[in-house]
Chains A and B, each alone.
Chain A
Amino acid sequence: MSSAKITTKNSKIIARISLTFFVLVNFIWLVLPFLMAGLWSLVDPKQPWSYPDILPPSLSLERWQMVWENTSLPEAMFNSYTIAPTVSLITISLSIPTAYAFGRMEFRGKKIAELLTLIPLVIPGMIIALFFSRMLLDLNISNPFVGIVIGHVVLTLPYAIRILSAGFSSVPQDLIEASRDLGASKFTVFKDVYMPMLKPSFLASIIFCLVKSIEEFAISFVIGSPDFITVPTILYSFLGYSFIRPNAAVVSIILLVPNIILMMIIEKLLKGNYLSQSTGKA
């Protein structure tokens, strides 16, 4: 039964004012920056947008075509989109046994082990990238693809382990015992009991790994540079060395839009505070 709601005299007006304030602030804080990036990517190369024009003089998709044809973007996208699935596959395979232990077993040292899985999240990316690249040298791993994949796997493991262990722990023990009582083998239990209930967690971890790998910058930059480029490193080259704003706008959108769509799918799959749960920050 819900308790009676205590409302003040002006609560409706206050709610309306606060909502208007929220919309206004978020327009400036969030919508406007994205709109500006969109506009910059559509500026016609023949008629540059410069001060004091408030809006671009003419819009076209030419810039998108130019970036695609004249920069290494296709190569960067190919690299990013081959690294990410490889990383997902390896990360998920490595995570399953660990996540099962965390989700379904009680053992000594469990709390410490859970904390230790978060190490890659609290060490700054550039430290990992720099000294990890040294270690790769020691191990004689000179292929940037392999190096970046290993680096991304370490970074995505904590997320996958967290999401999957939450999935494993949510499978009701009754169901497992019932199917065992009915004579199901271990494999059948896994296939018919665990798998259907684990599907959302699996999908969410795969997407999380894809997103994290595609947007990861430090490791790709240190291990890959100068020859092996990914989407974030090409974006950095447009932002850092020489500031080419329209090109940066195009690459930003390419990096951002798939990420947002994929994260929305995770939000749907895991319903709620996946971010705090999956990173153990709650």
Chain B
Amino acid sequence: MKGIKKDLKAWLLLCSGLGTILFLMGSTFYIVVTQSLGLYNISGEDSRFTLQYWHDVLTNSVFQSSYIYSVKVSLLGAILSIIVSYPIAMWLRNELPAKVTIITILRAPMLVPGLVAAFLFVNMISYHGILNETMVFLGIWHEPKTLQNDEFGWGVVILQMWKNIPFALILIGGAVNSLKTDLLDAAANLGSTSWQRFRYVIFPLTLTAVQVSFILIFIGALGDFAFYSIAGPRSTYSLARLMQMSAYEFEEWNQSAVMAMMIMLTSAFFTILVSIIIKPLAVKRGDIK
């Protein structure tokens, strides 16, 4: 009885903070779901269950290309951020002069808002940017090139990396730091190369951090609006931009809700997929090679 009373008291205390989150996020989510199924229409149309909006969006070629673009750029951004984080995390295990300063510098991009980050990047690569100027100055290029808004979306991938490497570094660095030096020394004594130590010791033991970093970076990138609007390709929209445009510029709120659902479902799909892929990798069976 005392237990129930205590639980009740705790949940009552949660009402203010968690309650607000659940109420506001829950009702927002409710609007997205019902609107995507035609059960909610604010514009005066009849509200009735229909899968027509899903059909319209999924068969639309603009949506398809924007979906492929967003997933591609988010996957690349997340994977490359993690790949770059590993050597930096390993390097930071060593004793270095001014290590705290180095870590602070490495974290700096996390404090920069997305729009500012995009502006800083555009400054670097624009027609009159430092990259073009340097290449022309060095005689490698005859004249400046248009690097902004590239068709593939490399600009957005680089921006995702710029912003997310520090975040991946916090998670992966934490996992790498918690590895015991004895373990790596033992592997080295048994004659392993650096790559073997990474592959058989470090990587399997830090997979949880990889999983969490991947999921969070991917979800963030999939819903990106700021980076895309400034540095993204001109011929393809990002999902978030297309969603915003459908709602505000074309007044197609139901279709926009379907796109929101697709962003959330894709995030959930990749979260589950990564968990399934990573699980067997973390368990090592058989003789130690």
Contacts and interface: CB of A to CB of B under 8 A. Distances in A.
A54 B167 CA distance: 34
B24 A32 contact: no
B263 interface: yes
A116 B111 CA distance: 25
A107 B244 contact: no
Contact of B223 (A50, A127, A273): A127
Contacts of B124: 32-33, 36
Interface of B: 3, 6-7, 9-11, 13-18, 20-22, 24-25, 27-29, 31-32, 35, 42, 91, 94-97, 102, 104-116, 118-124, 126-130, 132-133, 136-137, 144, 162, 167, 170-171, 174, 181, 185, 212, 216, 219-220, 222-226, 229-230, 240, 243-244, 247-248, 253, 256-257, 260, 263-264, 267
Given A255-B113, A259-B112, 10 more contacts: A37-B116, A96-B16, A98-B13, A124-B224, A127-B28, A150-B24, A153-B20, A154-B25, A232-B115, A239-B122
Contacts of A269: none
A276 B178 CA distance: 15
Contact of A235 (B10, B22, B119, B167): B119
A160 B16 CA distance: 12
Find the residue from B16, B17, B32 having the highest chain A CB count within 10 A: B17
A138 B88 CA distance: 49
B185 A6 contact: yes
B170 A34 contact: no
A37 B123 contact: yes
A124 B223 contact: yes
Nearest to A49: B128
Contacts of A259: 111-113
Contact of B243 (A51, A113, A127): A127
15 contacts: A32-B124, A36-B124, A52-B133, A52-B136, A101-B11, A107-B7, A116-B22, A124-B223, A132-B24, A222-B244, A232-B113, A235-B116, A239-B119, A248-B119, A275-B107
Interface string A108-129: 1110010011011011111110
Nearest to A107: B10
Given A3-B181, A101-B10, A113-B14, A252 B116 contact: yes
Contacts, number: 235
B160 to A, nearest CB: 14
A215 B119 CA distance: 14
B17 A131 contact: no
Interface of A: 3, 5-6, 11, 15, 18-19, 22, 26, 29-30, 32-34, 36-37, 40, 49-52, 54, 93-101, 105, 107-110, 113, 116-117, 119-120, 122-128, 130-132, 134-135, 137-138, 150, 153-154, 157-158, 160-161, 215, 217-218, 222, 232, 235-236, 239-240, 245, 248-249, 252, 255-256, 259-260, 263, 267, 273, 275-276, 281-282
A239 B170 CA distance: 31
A94 B223 contact: no
Contacts of B97: 15, 19
B115 A239 contact: yes
